[in-house]
Amino acid sequence: MEREPLLKKRKKSSVPDDGRQMDMSFAKTMTFCLPFIMPNTLRLKIYTVLAILCITGYKACLLIPGLSMKIVVDALASDDKRIRSHRPILGLLLFLGGRALGGVLGQGQEMAQEYCTSHMSKVFAVRSFSHIQSLSLSYHTNKNTGETTSILGRGIGSIGTLLRLVVFSLGPTVVEAIFVAGIFFKLGSPLIALVTLITVITYVFFTAYMTRWRVRCGRQLREAQNNAWACATETILHFGTVKSFGMEETEVSRYAALWEIAQAMTLRSAGILTGFKFGQNFIVHLGTFFGLIIAAVQASRHVITIGDFTMIQSYIGQLFGPLLWFGNSFGQVVSALTNLEQVMELFDKESEVQDVEGAEELKFGVVEGMPSTGDVVFENVSFGYEKVLSSSEGQNCRSGQVRNISFRVPAGKMLALVGPSGAGKSTLVKLLLRLYDPDEGRILVSGRDVKYLKQNSLRHAMGLVAQETTLFNDTLEKNIRFGRPDASEAEVWSAICLASLEEFVRKQTHGLQTRVGDQGLRLSGGERQRVGIARAVLKDPAIMLLDEATSALSTLDERKIQKNLQQLCKGRTTIAVAHRLSTVMMADEILVINNGHVIEHGNHSELVSRKGLYAHMWRLQAGTAADENEDEDFSITPVN
């Protein structure tokens, strides 16, 4: 089982690891997050304002206990009996009231904060998922599914973490530091206020500096984890193949090796975090020490009262406590920013296939006075999947997959595409669906270039039965209704009958509510393909695309369904890709494709009589070509 190794050398990041560029990267990430953090609805704005008011009130209430303790201590130290008898009670009542009000405001803050965080996480999740859905097929075929889902999942959690820790925790703490410094100035202790501000500023700068090291390690850790999750996803998706080849131990070893790398990165990150926390604690404790020393000296010299000293000690602890907490939580902020940086890279990806400005809906009938039917035209279409370097011109070009293909399918007629594997037949179907844009030439549907049609309207007009039918882990009914959820029950059963699926459905205990399993693995290949046929039939498209639509069926089932499909496709524009030539004998025209070129065209009788590639393939399938040379060269001059 060949596949692209997960541990491949990644391209060097576009953001260098030096501090300046890393700061720019963080600034770019924060700018990217702003549209998701900023409230954009009236209700969200109300909750955001409510959260800010609650936070402000809560922080103000946190100052009350320190003030109340000052009142109590100064009262108890007073020589006035009247003051000693009344003010301690007043101070304790103020303490109790501040705590109670702070508790209420704290709960209000948490509720408003939770609403804002969950709502913004939802908006971020939907926009991210929508962007992934909008990307071209080329992105998804070149990207590991496990890595994409891992990046998306961590990004959704990270936007909430960033909002909770930075907006609702760090911001209020900085504001609180300014308030406390102001109180110290008012007490006549500017030196203590200066020590407090210097401590906070030093703490912030130290944290920002050390963050560079943590981010560098965090990126390596995320890459290692992405590789591990991608390995797990890939193996689970293909567990049938893994078991069939007895490769369970090999896959487990591969997975374990990837987690060994992730563990090494985790330990390195933990080592950096330990030094990070030590430095933060040292700064905070040193600031606390100098602040209290200055306060003690001023109290001994009667510059401030004993109550003032108690209040200063309370405020310093109250201020530096959240700083230490935030320092311990800052690893989550770094992790969140690193995760969001990966999501930002995802948002930087643009779809190669986009609707042009002013794109039109595909309509049938009479449009703007011109007849609009379901005819399909390919005009000199060339396309290749991979870009290669042209040695002659030194410019980028694509390796050829289909080259200079031209044909026309009149409305209501059937065209068959036949030829060896890899000749480019399925590629033509993908180009018609506009999953890719051709490198040269153009494709017209109902006389309109598909580049100037809205992609959704184009694809809604087509029904596809693929060689490998992909089903969702849902019920039979949901899978059949996928292309047309609003279909009636009678229409669903009609499609089931046309796909020769009725007997299978009725045998199931839960009927249409039977779950098909992940990727439909509870069903056989033939059953999955019949579900795919029923899904396309129910959609009732103007153009039917059959890409090896019966390849997984038995001969008996194929003959039965072929009759139904012929009836269904009658009067409907149809393009059928086939290896079994018996399934396309009745096509109005057959194109024989080899090496990306059309080398023959005509109906079945005409092609058999020409003794070309089609005739050779027909005799092989009919069992009458035993004496023919298997190596005969059919790479004849392309026909346009």
Reported as a single tens digit per residue, the pLDDT across 499-528 is 888 999 999 999 999 999 887 878 888 888
Query: In one letter, which amino acid is 265?
Result: M
Residue 111, pLDDT above cutoff 90: no
Which runs of consecutive H residues, i.e. helices, occur in 500-639?
Answer: 502-507, 525-539, 555-569, 604-610, 613-622
Q: Which range, of 1-5, 149-153, 471-475, 551-555, averages the lowest pLDDT?
A: 1-5
Rg (CA), the chain: 35
Residue 609 tokens, joined? 């009589």
What average pLDDT does this structure show over 194-209? 84
**Orientation of helix 19-37 relative to helix 306-348, angle to 10°:** 90
Pair type for strands 370-372 and 414-418: unpaired
Contacts of residue 290, defined as CB under 8 A and 6 or more positions apart, other chains included, come to 195
Q: Which range, of 6-10, 204-208, 322-326, 358-362, averages the lowest pLDDT?
A: 6-10
* Structural domains in the chain, sorted by start: 27-348 (1.20.1560.10)
Q: Which range, of 128-137, 454-463, 601-610, averages the lowest pLDDT?
A: 128-137
Cβ–Cβ < 8 Å for 409, 344? no
Confidence class of residue 363 from pLDDT cuts 50, 70 and 90? confident
Q: Coil, strand, or helix at residue 417?
A: strand
pLDDT tens-digit map of 52-109: 888 888 888 878 887 888 888 877 777 666 666 677 788 788 888 888 888 888 888 7
Confidence class of residue 362 from pLDDT cuts 50, 70 and 90? confident
CA 525, CA 531: separation in Å to the nearest integer?
10
Residue 417, pLDDT above cutoff 90: yes
What average pLDDT does this structure show over 186-197? 81
Q: Which of 346, 344, 148 is nearest to 230 (CA)?
A: 148
Residue 418, pLDDT above cutoff 90: yes
Indicate the burial class of 464 (C-beta count within 10 angstroms; 0-12, 13-18, 19 or more). Answer: buried
The reply to whether the predicted model has a pTM over 0.85 is no
Beta strands in 268-394 (DSSP E): 365-367, 370-372, 376-383, 387-389
CA 379, CA 169: separation in Å to the nearest integer?
62
SS3 helix, strand, coil % of the chain, rounded to 5?
A: 65, 10, 25
- The 8-class DSSP code of residue 166 comes to I
Q: Coil, strand, or helix at residue 496?
A: helix
Q: Which helix (H) or strand (E) holds 599?
A: strand 597-602
Beta strands in 369-517 (DSSP E): 370-372, 376-383, 387-389, 396-398, 402-409, 414-418, 440-445, 448-449, 462-465
What average pLDDT does this structure show over 442-471? 89
Q: Which of 278, 41, 37, 68 is nearest to 166 (CA)?
A: 37
